[in-house]
Structure 1
Amino acid sequence: MRRDELLDAAEDLLCDQGSTALTLAAVADRAGVSKGGLLYHYGTKEALIKAMVERLIEEFDELTTTQPGETYTERYLGATLAAVRSGRLRRWAVVTGASGNLFLLAPLREAMARWHREGLSEEPDPLGSQIVRLACEGLWDVASHDPELNSEDDLQALERRLKTLIVPAPS
């Protein structure tokens, strides 16, 4: 069984039953493998949660990969909206909620610091870019709790408005 399938099973379990249901036996059962098969890849519940957090970070990093002619903030905005539209936010909420352990969340804290500092000084309007990145965090947080709040039209309008903050400020 591939590691991603085990992580998928753990995330599904978290989404369906909450963090108290996240046990190695339950994940193995959900994945259709023996507990020993799961332990081969993830020796502890903490290792499993850490792997889920790291995978979420990698996925967001992939969404922010360099696109010619786009600033990092434009890519960050696009990545956030892609995550909102896809429903991946719930995965983030349940995985980080399941952790409850600052050590396990350390990679996420480091990624957040990197994401909010990345290329900021090279942006045409660093303050506008910072506002957009912070707005993305707010959108992400609210959408993870109320995914039906914004329609596609709402998201498109938010994207258009936030993009106006990324352009250089008038001199």
Structure 2
Amino acid sequence: MDSKAKLKRKHILQSATTFILTVDFQSLTLDAVAKEAGVSKGGLLYHFPNKEELLKGLALHIFEQFIELFDSYAAKDDDEYGKWCRAYIQASREDLEHNAALNVGVMSATLLQPVYIQSMSYSYSYMLRKMEEDGIDPSIVSIIRLTIDGMYYSVLYKIEPLQKELLDEVMTRLMNMTRKGMNEN
């Protein structure tokens, strides 16, 4: 069981997430998060002494949640061939549909910070290693990965993000590429 401090820290991170998704990332302040979490500013500062530490905590929290989602989709998939690629597609789709604003805000705020890049790189490498174990042609794995990366970047830079209907179509096609016999020349 998590300690009281860990539970409080998680509550603060979830409150920061809620604030970003309901208000916006630009309005994120320590005072706003403390209010959203229903804690004193001193209580928040105990866990996150400054905004940079809060952002670091959010970045780690986001990637932990994504990895949990990725692992859970893979665990539900009985077909070993392509299951990690399908898990990545499904987790990304859910994330893009529900948390894109949060992730884009945190990613853009932390983009040039080496500590964040290292954490993101570790999580990303874990997923790629799993996808490479799927038995799918490595070029197909790369097409899936780079397509999803492009979707995130289009949201991040506000360059024509895909509308829902087209997003659905692209995700369906990516899922088809993970099935035996669907991606052979």
The answer to whether the 8 A contact 1:53-1:105 is kept is no
1:147: Cα distance to partner?
Answer: 8.7
1:102 aligns with 2:89: no
Local SS of the residue matching 1:82: helix
Unaligned runs of 5+ in 2: 1-6
The letter of the residue matching 1:106 is Q
Q: Deviations over 1:5-35 (max 9, x none)?
A: 312333355563544x544334323433211
The correspondence for 2:52, drawn from 37, 46, 54, is 46
1:61 aligns with 2:71: no
Local SS of the residue matching 1:118: helix
Q: Deviations over 1:120-165 (max 9, x none)?
A: 14422221122111111112222453797322x3233212222333
What RMSD over aligned residues (CA atoms) do the two structures have, in Å?
2.7
The number of equivalent residue pairs is 168
1:93 aligns with 2:104: yes
Q: Percent identity?
A: 26
**TM-score normalised to structure 2 length:** 0.74
Q: Deviations over 1:38-71 (max 9, x none)?
A: 1222233332212111111111112211232152
**Hey, what does 2:144 align to over in structure 1?**
132
Runs of 4+ in 1 over 6 A off after TM superposition: none
The letter of the residue matching 2:116 is L
Alignment partners' CA distance in 1, 2:139 and 2:179: 11
The answer to whether the 8 A contact 1:77-1:159 is kept is yes
1:107: Cα distance to partner?
Answer: 0.7
**TM-score normalised to structure 1 length:** 0.79
Tell me: CA distance 1:108–1:72, structure 2 relative to 1, closer, same or farther (3 Å): same
Unaligned runs of 5+ in 1: none
